[in-house]
Amino acid sequence: MIKVKKRKFLLLPGDGVGPEVVGEVKKIIQWFNSNKSLDFEMEEGLAGGASYDKHGTPITDEVFYKALECEAVILGAVGGPKWDNLEFSKKPERALLKLRKELKLFANLRPAICFKQLVDASTLKPEIVSGLDIMIVRELTGGIYFGEPRGIKPIDNGERKGINTHTYTTSEIQRVARVAFDLAKKRKNKVTSCEKSNVMEAGLLWREEVELLHDKEFKDVQLNHMLADNCAMQLLRNPKQFDVIVTDNLFGDMLSDQASMLTGSLGLLPSASLGAKNKDGKIRAMYEPIHGSAPDIAGKGIANPIATILSFAMALKYSLDLVKESDALEKAVQTVLDEKLRTKDILSPGMKEVSTSEMGDAIISKLQ
Ligand code: NAD
C-alpha cells in the first residue's frame, strides 16, 4: 500500500487575539479532515511574547526547525504592551523577522478586497471601493529593514546618529517582480511597480530591473511604473485602477496598510508570504492575518477570525494546490456575510453580532 504523506501545518497562535483567531482555523482543519477525508496534520508552537515568557526567546530553535519542515506556517499575531520594553533581539516581532528571513519569505502577498456586503465599513465612498480587488506584492527580506550597516551610534558633537541602509540587488528585485507578473497573468494582467527612482539609486535600479524582466519574460503583461508617494495618493483617489502592485519592503509596508483600510476592517484581510523552494521543490510559506495582536480586545471573544481563516484559504491555494477547497472556504465566508452575521469590528445597524467562535462555526456550517 502506498503511504500518503500527511500535509503538515505548523500553527503559531502567538499573542493577544492570535490564539483566538487561530483556534477557528484549527476547527476548520478538523472539519476538512473529518468531512473531506483530507490528511492535514497540525502541530502547534509558541512564538512571540508567549515564547519569550516560557523560554526567554521569541522563537526557539525547535519551533523554528518545525517551521522548516512543515508544508506551511499559519501565524496568528505577535506582540503587545507587556513586551514593549524588551531589548530589540528579544522582542516578539523578532520571531516574525527570523521566520521571514530564514524561510527566505521574500514575497508578501496582501490582497485588498472590498467585500460588497461591507462596502459601508470603508471610510471611502462606496463607488470608489465597491468591487475593489488589488493584490499588493511586497518584497519582504531586503531593503532598509535588513540592510547593513544599521544601528544607533554616538557622534562627535554629543549627539547620536541612527543608521539604516537601503539596498537591493538585481536578483532580489527580479524574483519578487516575477511573482507579481505571474500573479497578474491569473488576474487582470496588469502590474504597477512602485519605487522612488526620482530620489533613490536603489529605486532607480528597481525600476530598471523590473523593466528588464518584463521585456525579457512578461511582454504580454501590462506594466507601469509609479512613484511610491503618488501610489499612496492614487490608492485613495482611484484604487480600482490597480491590479497587482509590486514594491519594496518599506513602501510595501505602508502601501499595503493603506490599501487594507480601503476595505474597512483589519480583521478581514489575509496575507501570504512565499519563499524560495526547498529541496523537494516545494515553496516555503507562511500565512497570517495582516492585523496585529489587538491587545485592546484580546481575551474577550470578539476578535474577527475572518482574516486568519482567509489566510488559511490562501494556504490551501498556494501551498497545497487545493483550489476547490480554498474557493469553498472563501465562498463560505461570503455566505456568512450575506446572512448579515458580523463580529463587533464590522457591525452595522441591522446586522447580527456574533462572537469569534460563532463566526468560525457559521463559516464551517456553510462548508457543509
Ligand atoms: P492591531 O492590528 O493589533 O490593532 C489595531 C486595531 O484593530 C485595534 O483597535 C484592534 O482591536 C483592531 N483589530 C485588529 N485585529 C482585529 C481583529 N481580528 N478583529 C477585530 N478587531 C481587530 O495593531 P496595533 O494595535 O498597532 O498593534 C498591537 C500589537 O500587535 C503591537 O504589539 C504590534 O507590534 C503587534 N503587531 C503584530 C503584527 C504581527 O504579528 N504580524 C502586525 C502588526 C502589529
Position 3 scores a pLDDT of 43
Q: Which three cell numbers stand for residue 149?
A: 550597516
Position 5 scores a pLDDT of 57
Element (H, E) at 150: strand 147-154
pLDDT of residue 228 exceeding 60: yes
Position 276 scores a pLDDT of 76
- Sequence letter at residue 300: K
pLDDT interval class at 120 (50, 70, 90): confident
Span 349-354, mean pLDDT? 94
Q: Which long-range contacts (CB under 8 A, 24 or more apart) does 164-168 make?
A: 166/200, 166/202, 166/250, 167/142, 167/143, 167/202, 168/139, 168/142, 168/143, 168/202, 168/205, 168/206, 168/248
From 96, 286, 291, mutation site for ligand 1 pocket: most ligand atoms within 8 A of C-beta: 291
pLDDT of residue 52 exceeding 80: yes
Nearest in space to 320 (alpha carbons), one of 113, 74, 96, 104: 74
Span 93-121, mean pLDDT? 89
For residues 10 and 97, which has the higher predicted lDDT (pLDDT)?
10
Q: Please tell me which residue in 27, 36, 98, 257 is annotated as part of the active site.
A: 257
133-261: CATH topology is: Isopropylmalate Dehydrogenase (3.40.718)
Is 133-261 in the same CATH topology as 1-106+275-368? yes
pLDDT tens digits for range 250-296: 999 999 989 888 887 778 889 999 997 777 777 899 999 989 999 99
Span 332-347, mean pLDDT? 93
Output the residue whose Cα is nearest ligand 1's atom 12: 294
pLDDT tens digits for range 1-16: 444 457 899 999 999 9
Q: In this structure, what DSSP letter does residue 12 have?
A: E
Q: Please tell me which residue in 39, 229, 321, 327 is annotated as part of the active site.
A: 229
Q: Which three cell numbers stand for residue 194?
A: 512602485
Q: Please tell me which residue in 145, 168, 287, 318 is annotated as part of the active site.
A: 145
What is the distance between the alpha carbons of residues 162 and 312, in angstroms, rounded to a whole number? 38
pLDDT tens digits for range 298-337: 999 999 999 999 999 999 988 888 989 999 999 999 999 9
Known catalytic membership, residue 229: yes
The domains of the chain are located at 1-106+275-368, 133-261
CA of 267 to the centre of ligand 1 (A): 9
Q: In this structure, what DSSP letter does residue 282 have?
A: P
Q: 77 and 296 in contact (C-beta within 8 Å)? A: no
pLDDT tens digits for range 16-42: 999 999 999 999 999 999 887 788 999
pLDDT tens digits for range 166-187: 999 999 999 999 999 999 998 9
pLDDT interval class at 79 (50, 70, 90): very high
Beta-carbon contacts of 156 under 8 Å, excluding residues fewer than 6 positions away, are: none
For the chain, the C-alpha Rg in angstroms (whole number) is 21
Span 139-164, mean pLDDT? 94
From 266, 304, 309, 312, mutation site for ligand 1 pocket: most ligand atoms within 8 A of C-beta: 266
Number of helices and strands in the chain (H, E): 12, 14
CA of 333 to the centre of ligand 1 (A): 21
pLDDT of residue 143 exceeding 90: yes
Output the residue whose Cα is nearest ligand 1's atom 26: 292
| pLDDT, the chain, mean | 93
What is the distance between the alpha carbons of residues 230 and 306, in angstroms, rounded to a whole number? 31
Q: Which three cell numbers stand for residue 134?
A: 488589488
pLDDT of residue 354 exceeding 80: yes
CA of 91 to the centre of ligand 1 (A): 16
Percentage with pLDDT > 90 across the chain: 78
Known catalytic membership, residue 253: yes
Which DSSP string corresponds to 157-186?
TS-EEEEEE----HHHHHHHHHHHHHHHHT
CA of 86 to the centre of ligand 1 (A): 19
**Domain 1-106+275-368 sits in which CATH superfamily?**
Isopropylmalate Dehydrogenase (3.40.718.10)
Strand pairing report for 270-277 and 107-113? antiparallel
Q: How many CA atoms lie within 13 Å of 204's alpha carbon, on the beta-carbon side?
A: 4
What is the distance between the alpha carbons of residues 361 and 291, in angstroms, rounded to a whole number? 21
**Residues near ligand 1 (Cβ within 6 A):** 17, 21, 77-80, 93, 96, 266-267, 288, 291-297, 303-304, 307, 345
Using DSSP's 3-state secondary structure scheme, residue 44 falls into strand
Query: Which atom of ligand 1 is nearest the CA belonging to 81?
Result: 32
